A = this chain, B = another copy of it.
Amino acid sequence: MTRVGILGYGNLGKGVELAIRQNADMELVGVFTRRDPATVTIATEGVPVRSVAELDEGTATDVDVLIICGGSATDLPVQTPKYAGKYNVVDSFDTHARIPEHFANVDAAAKEAGKTALISCGWDPGLFSLNRLYANCILPEGSDYTFWGKGVSQGHSDALRRIPGVADAKQYTIPVPEALEAVRAGQNPELTTREKHTRQCFVVLEEGADPAAVTEQIVNMPNYFDEYDVEVNFISQEELNANHSGLPHGGFVVRSGATAGGMNCTIEYSLKLDSNPEFTACVLVAYARAVARLSAEGNTGCKTVFDIAPAYLSAQPADFLRAHML
């Protein structure tokens, strides 16, 4: 059994709790919280809510792997190096530009402690990264494309909610079908930001707010919306709750290339997910199994999905995998 601890009990932590139930060789031994454990109730009976102080003191010795479910902006840059100095850890750090720095910090801490860490696990970074890498190695001459959606961007939804006059909002990122088709057809198009994705907003106005003024603010918002074609829909809070309360997501990774003989080849990977956090959690749990194994083999330091052989993710022995999945 691999004994798992969860740090952080938001959407992702709750997803990890669920994912562990689908893996008979994994056991949840605690959800760790910065709050008073007595005030936190979790979905799994018989599993204790424990204080983060236990982790800090290094006394949570029953934890084989700690899955850290904090945010990339402020939580993970602190938490992952800190706990990699005491436990095997997995995180889903997703600020692409800061991965080298985060890796260096976690690697130093894990190596010094003789622990194994995995950062930037999930689907992007994570499964999408794997597919970019495999496809690039196989087709060295070609072009890469990543499309996201259709799915809810929490960052863009948050940005909408910060606009004065907006009571609530959800934003869907949608790939432009024509762009995806051109890529699939091997046309290797050069695509602008606007040509790749559109942004669909569902906005609940505060009483008395001016829809025209809110629309103006949305479509001109730098970084988030100004470079995109934006669709703004004003709806009631009831309609938002009824039709837009989920967190679906997904996307496409395509590499379009040619052999040295001039033969076109297209490799495509895609995900369609009813729940972004629950699926991400499934990826984290499979990789937590791998981290426990690497640790048992004495393979310490910080890893990424690039460093882990696929067989490490499976609960099945190698001969079973060769006979049934190869």
- CB-CB under 8 A from A18, the residues of chain B are 259-261
Flag if A325 contacts B129 (CB, 8 Å): yes
Q: Which of A249-266 contact B (CB under 8 A)?
A: 259-261, 263-266
Distance, CA A184 to CA B127, complexed state (A): 19
Flag if A141 contacts B22 (CB, 8 Å): yes
- CB-CB under 8 A from A314, the residues of chain B are 133, 136-137
A3 to chain B, nearest CB (A): 18
A22 to chain B, nearest CB (A): 5
Flag if A259 contacts B138 (CB, 8 Å): no
Distance, CA A258 to CA B265, complexed state (A): 31
A265 to chain B, nearest CB (A): 5
What per-residue 1/0 map shows which CB atoms of A116-148 lie under 8 Å from chain B? Answer: 000010000101011111101111110000000
Q: A133-B314, A283-B138, A310-B133 are in contact. Are A15 and B322 (CB under 8 A)?
A: no
In the complex, whether A318 has a CB less than 8 A from a CB of chain B is yes
Distance, CA A250 to CA B274, complexed state (A): 28
In the complex, whether A319 has a CB less than 8 A from a CB of chain B is yes
- CB-CB under 8 A from A310, the residues of chain B are 130, 133-134, 137, 305-306
Distance, CA A296 to CA B313, complexed state (A): 25
Give the contacting residue for A286; candidates B137, B264, B270; CB below 8 A.
B137
Interchain Cβ contacts under 8 Å between A and B, 8 examples: A96-B326, A184-B272, A265-B279, A266-B271, A267-B271, A268-B269, A268-B272, A306-B318
User: Which residues of A are interface residues toward B (Cβ below 8 A)?
Assistant: 15, 18-19, 21-23, 96, 99-100, 103, 120, 125, 127, 129-134, 136-141, 184, 186, 259-261, 263-275, 278-279, 281-283, 286, 289, 304-311, 313-315, 318-319, 321-323, 325-326
